[in-house]
Amino acid sequence: MSSIRRRVTAHGKVQGVFFRDSTREEAERRGVSGWVRNTPTGTVEAVFEGDPDMVDAMISFVRDGPGSAEVERVVVDDEEPEGLGRFKVT
Say if residues 76 and 6 touch (Cβ distance below 8 Å).
yes
Nearest to 43 by CA among 13, 18, 22, 68: 13
Backbone φ and ψ of 36, nearest 5°: -145, 145
Task: Please list the active-site residues.
Answer: 20, 38
Nearest to 88 by CA among 21, 43, 38, 41: 21
The residue type at 1: M
